[in-house]
């Protein structure tokens, strides 16, 4: 093990703590995203367009938050790997590894739920298209009273 000064050790500890906080935040965001997707599935099944729209807007906000966290986590992960290769306490390393594995599990669950919602939406859209195609226009081939030309007089008799 290499000899570290107290300031280097403090820096590494602070890095690990910050990295753990970011991973926890991202895990919470993914959990929130999974919850939104599960509720979205219910609204798709219930054909509730207003609730589906609200869930879609919420989903966009959550995804935006995840992307912003990811912009910080990726460089932080690289720094963590470089600086803390062998000098991290085993319990800290286990905590980080545990958080990363939880995060991967949540990502996989989100992908599965997202695919499930997509297939439900495709099925629902197909059904709607079928319903629209089966509608018959009751006024087809019937002339409108407004489209007919009516004969009107051309001459006006004016008496004075």
Other beta carbons within 10 angstroms of residue 85's beta carbon come to: 9
As given in the structure block, the two tokens for residue 82 are: 């470089």
Angstrom distances, CA of residue 4 to CA of 84, 117, 134, 144: 12, 51, 76, 91
At the top level of CATH, the class of 9-134 is mainly alpha
Residue 94: pLDDT above 70? yes
Report the distance separating Cα 26 and Cα 106, nearest Å: 10
The model's confidence at residue 150, banded by pLDDT at 50, 70 and 90, is low
Surface-to-core class of residue 18, CB atoms within 10 Å of its CB (0-12 exposed, 13-18 middle, 19+ buried): middle
Q: Is the whole-model pTM more than 0.75?
A: no
Q: Are 41 and 116 contacting, i.e. CB atoms less than 8 angstroms apart?
A: yes
DSSP E strands, 3-157: none
Report the distance separating Cα 121 and Cα 116, nearest Å: 9
Q: Are 13 and 91 contacting, i.e. CB atoms less than 8 angstroms apart?
A: no
Domains in the chain: boundaries: 9-134
Instruction: Using alpha carbons, select from 57, 28, 52 the residue that is nearest to residue 39.
Output: 52
As given in the structure block, the two tokens for residue 73 are: 């986590």
Residues 98-139 have pLDDT tens digits of 888 888 888 888 889 889 989 998 998 898 899 888 988 877
Residue 142 has what pLDDT? 76
């Amino acid at each position: 093990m290499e000899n570290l000064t107290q300031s280097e050790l403090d820096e590494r500890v602070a890095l690990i703590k910050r990295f753990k906080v970011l991973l926890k935040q991202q895990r919470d965001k993914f959990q929130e995203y999974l919850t939104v997707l599960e509720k979205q599935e219910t609204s798709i099944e219930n054909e509730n367009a207003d609730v589906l729209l609200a869930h879609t807007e919420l989903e966009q906000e959550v995804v935006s938050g995840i992307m912003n966290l990811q912009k910080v986590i990726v460089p932080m992960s690289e720094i963590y790997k470089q600086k803390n290769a062998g000098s991290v306490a085993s319990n800290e390393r286990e905590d980080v590894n545990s958080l990363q594995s939880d995060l991967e599990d949540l990502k996989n669950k989100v992908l599965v739920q997202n695919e499930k919602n997509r297939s439900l939406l495709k099925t629902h859209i197909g059904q709607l298209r079928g319903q629209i195609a089966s509608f018959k226009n009751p006024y087809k081939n019937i002339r409108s009273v407004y489209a007919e030309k009516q004969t009107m007089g051309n001459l006006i008799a004016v008496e004075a």
